[in-house]
Structure 1
């Protein structure tokens, strides 16, 4: 099971755009579930300026072998020049939940 599952994190500037990506990922069977947070405030430096924006965080539950396709889809749909895209390996969890991820991401 090690390195078989990922939690992929990204952010979007609007809830509507976040929902669009979430639906695309689940419908394409690249993710079993995508959780979209309430608005969060992000403070960051971009092009030499300190920025403060509201964003919506997405937590994408998927199989490791779907990461490249997720990255390609996100790169195509994301409005940012350099979107946040972080993948964390999931090594522990409820076996039934992992089974569900596998089942729902099969073509």
Structure 2
């Protein structure tokens, strides 16, 4: 379990499907240069193993999927298939679309 100094328990986890945003919005990238995805990003399967570990070790109950535009990520389907049976109370997604 992860607890802060005020005794609050952390139950929420955010997972970004990519290390670099696939957009070049003026908010994040004022010069308009797109970020390049890292060559050594985790696979969907590795991210699922990490989420499963945090559920068991830290008591994570809710998951939010992020990462530029996660709906266009090639990892989304495999990641959702992997985390869906893990018994989370909520799985949600933040979209830029």
Q: Which TM-score band applies after superposition, normalised by the shorter structure?
A: under 0.3
Q: TM-score, normalised by structure 1?
A: 0.26
Higher helix share: 1
**Which of the pair has the greater relative contact order for Cα pairs under 8 Å at 6+ separation?**
1
Higher strand share: 1
